[in-house]
Structure 1
C-alpha cells in the first residue's frame, strides 16, 4: 500500500493538486488560533481570566481533532490520485506445453518409485493445479517427438495422456521443443480474445543429455530449438530430473544414467526461462507448484485505492470522536 509514493505509481497524479486546499486549511486554522490567542491576551487581569475561562487541562490535545481531519483529507486526496500496485491475476489465454522426456533412462529408480512414475504423478498434479483458463498441451520425446495433446483448456485430457507415458529408446530433446513450438504457433493462429499471439511457455522435463542428434547445435538439435523458441518469445523452463546415482537394467546389465544438467541449463540461458532440479518426487512436485504460480498468473498494475480510502475513513472517524471527547464539538 505504501510501497511507492512516486507519481509514476498513480493513475491520476494531478489530483495531488487538491493538497493545496489542505495546505490552505492548515494555514487558516493556524491563523484562527493565533487571532484567538491575541483576543484572549487583551484581558489585563489574568486572575479574572482564570476565573472566567479556566485553562483546559489538555490544551495541547485540543489540536488533535484538527490534525486528524487534515490527515483524513490528505489520505482521501491520495486515494483520488489512483494509487496502483502489482496485482496477480489469472491468465485466461496463455499456452503452456509440457514436454516430457520418456527415454529409457526414465526407468531408473533413484527417484522412487521410478523417474517415469514420479514424472507422471507430478505432471498430473500440475495439470490439476493450473489455472483453468490456461491452455495446456503435452509432448513426449524419445528418439522422436509426439504431440499427445494439443493445447486445450480440458486439463483432464492432458492428465489421461500423462498416465500413458512409458520409457522408450533415445533422447531427441530438440525435436520435443520444435514440436511444442509448432503446437503453440497453431494455437496462437486460431485463438482470439487479445492483441497479438497469446503468451506461451514450455516446461521441459528431462533427465539426460540429448542423443539425437549428437550435436545440440545441429539444425534439429536442442540448442537450435532453443534459439527458435527465443525468436518466438517463448521462454523454456527446465526440470532436470534424477540423481547422479541413477541406473537402468538393460539386458541384465546395470547401466549408469546420471542426471545431466548442462544441456538444460544452456537451453534456459538461451531462452530466458528458469532452471530447476528435482531429485525426488517431493522436489518435483514443489517445482511444478512454483511453475504453476509463474505460468498460471500474470502481474499487472491494479487499483490500490481501497486501503487509502479505509485509512481516510478511519482518520475521519477518529477526528470526530476526538472533537467530541476533547473539545465537546465536531472538528469543523
Structure 2
C-alpha cells in the first residue's frame, strides 16, 4: 500500500477530533475511578463490579480510534504511482530492408530475426497505441498507416522485401509525415497524441552519404526533435557480418555511432542488439515504455477496507467484553 501523495490532505484535520475523543475517554475513565473510590461499601462494590475485564475493556475503544484514523487517512485521498495502459499514442516502426539484412551473422538471418521481433512487438503493444509500419532501403515506403488494428501490421512485417541502398533519413522523414497526417485527423481538444519513432537498422546510411544533407538521417533527427517526436534507434547486427553481392563477400558492419547520434539529436534512446534474443528484449523494453505510462491513481480503497474491519472489530469486541456497543 504505497502512498506518493494525497488528493485532499485537509481531511487530516479530523485527527484533532480523534485526539479530543481519546482525551475525553481518558478523562471519563479517571472521573469514573474517582466516583468508584467514593463508594464506601467496598464489600458491596466488589460484588456488583464487573469481573475479569482488566485491560481488555479498553480494546473496543482502541479499535474504534484505529478505525477513525484509518478512515481519516482514506478521506485524505492517498494516491500511488501506477503503470496504466496508454489510451492514446502513435508509434511508427521504421525497419531497414537493405540488402545487408541478408547477413546470417544473426541466425537465421538479420531480416528473419527482425521480422520475428517486430511481429512480437506489434502483437504485444497495448490496444490504445496506434502503430504504423515503414520500410526503407533506397527509398521509404509507408506500408501501414497508424492504426490500432495489429493484423495489417503483422502481415506487412511478414512480407518485407529486400532492396538496394540505405536511405535512413528518408525513413525518418516518412515517419514524421505519417505521424503528422494521422495527428491532424485524431487530434482533439487534448491535442495530438504523444508520438514516437522506433528505427531499426543494421548499417550506415548510403543515400545520401552525408548524414547532414537536407534528406540525411541527422537532419531528419533534428526535425524530429523540433516536433517533439523522439526516435528510439536499434542498431542490429554484429561487426563481422557480410553478404554476397555479385559473387563477392561484402562486409556489412553495423553503424552504432550513427544510430547513437540519431537518438541523441532527436531526444530518443539508443539500443544495441547483436542477437535475436537481444533484439526481442529491446522490443519488449520499448513495448513497456511506449504502451504504459505512470499515473497518480486513487489508493484509498485499502485504507477504507482496513478502517471498516477495525470498526467491525470494535463493535464485536464491545459486545463480547462489555455486552454493549461502544
Match of 1:214 in 2: 209
User: What is the CA distance between 1:73 and its match in structure 2?
Assistant: 1.1
Alignment of 1:88 onto 2:119: no
User: What is the CA distance between 1:46 and its match in structure 2?
Assistant: 6.4
Match of 1:13 in 2: 9
Residues 3 and 79 of structure 2 are in contact (CA less than 8 Å); yes or no, is this contact kept in structure 1? Answer: no
Alignment of 1:241 onto 2:246: no
Residue 47 and residue 214 in structure 1: after superposition, are their counterparts in 2 closer, same or farther (change >3 A)? farther
In structure 1, what is the Cα distance between the partners aligned to 2:41 and 2:237?
94
Residue 60 and residue 272 in structure 1: after superposition, are their counterparts in 2 closer, same or farther (change >3 A)? farther
Residue 273 and residue 42 in structure 1: after superposition, are their counterparts in 2 closer, same or farther (change >3 A)? farther
User: What is the CA distance between 1:138 and its match in structure 2?
Assistant: 0.9
Residues 2 and 80 of structure 2 are in contact (CA less than 8 Å); yes or no, is this contact kept in structure 1? Answer: no
Match of 1:303 in 2: 298
Match of 2:177 in 1: 182
Match of 1:34 in 2: 30
Please give the secondary structure, in 2, of the residue aligned with 1:60. Answer: helix
Match of 2:19 in 1: 23
In structure 1, what is the Cα distance between the partners aligned to 2:62 and 2:50?
24
Match of 1:250 in 2: 245
Residues 145 and 176 of structure 1 are in contact (CA less than 8 Å); yes or no, is this contact kept in structure 2? Answer: yes
User: What is the CA distance between 1:55 and its match in structure 2?
Assistant: 6.0
In structure 1, what is the Cα distance between the partners aligned to 2:103 and 2:62?
71
In structure 2, what is the Cα distance between the partners aligned to 1:274 and 1:318?
54
Match of 2:60 in 1: 65
Residue 239 and residue 46 in structure 1: after superposition, are their counterparts in 2 closer, same or farther (change >3 A)? farther
In structure 2, what is the Cα distance between the partners aligned to 1:270 and 1:68?
60
Residue 54 and residue 159 in structure 1: after superposition, are their counterparts in 2 closer, same or farther (change >3 A)? closer
1:9-33 superposed Cα distances (whole Å, 9 cap, x missing partner): 2222222222222122111111112
User: What is the CA distance between 1:194 and its match in structure 2?
Assistant: 4.3
In structure 1, what is the Cα distance between the partners aligned to 2:239 and 2:309?
60
In structure 2, what is the Cα distance between the partners aligned to 1:62 and 1:266?
72
Residues 3 and 299 of structure 2 are in contact (CA less than 8 Å); yes or no, is this contact kept in structure 1? Answer: no
Question: Superposition RMSD on alpha carbons, in Å?
Answer: 2.2
Which has the larger displacement, 258-267 or 200-209?
Answer: 258-267
Match of 2:261 in 1: 266
Residues 93 and 193 of structure 1 are in contact (CA less than 8 Å); yes or no, is this contact kept in structure 2? Answer: no
Residue 226 and residue 47 in structure 1: after superposition, are their counterparts in 2 closer, same or farther (change >3 A)? farther
Residues matched between the structures, number: 326
In structure 1, what is the Cα distance between the partners aligned to 2:261 and 2:57?
68
Residues 127 and 156 of structure 1 are in contact (CA less than 8 Å); yes or no, is this contact kept in structure 2? Answer: no
Match of 2:102 in 1: 107
Which has the larger displacement, 80-89 or 95-104?
Answer: 80-89
Residues 97 and 137 of structure 1 are in contact (CA less than 8 Å); yes or no, is this contact kept in structure 2? Answer: yes
In structure 2, what is the Cα distance between the partners aligned to 1:72 and 1:278?
54
Match of 1:2 in 2: 2
Alignment of 1:292 onto 2:287: yes
TM-score, with normalisation over the residues of structure 2? 0.91
Match of 1:230 among 225, 246, 251: 225
Match of 2:168 in 1: 173
Residue 194 and residue 155 in structure 1: after superposition, are their counterparts in 2 closer, same or farther (change >3 A)? farther
Alignment of 1:139 onto 2:156: no
Residue 218 and residue 37 in structure 1: after superposition, are their counterparts in 2 closer, same or farther (change >3 A)? farther
Residue 73 and residue 143 in structure 1: after superposition, are their counterparts in 2 closer, same or farther (change >3 A)? same
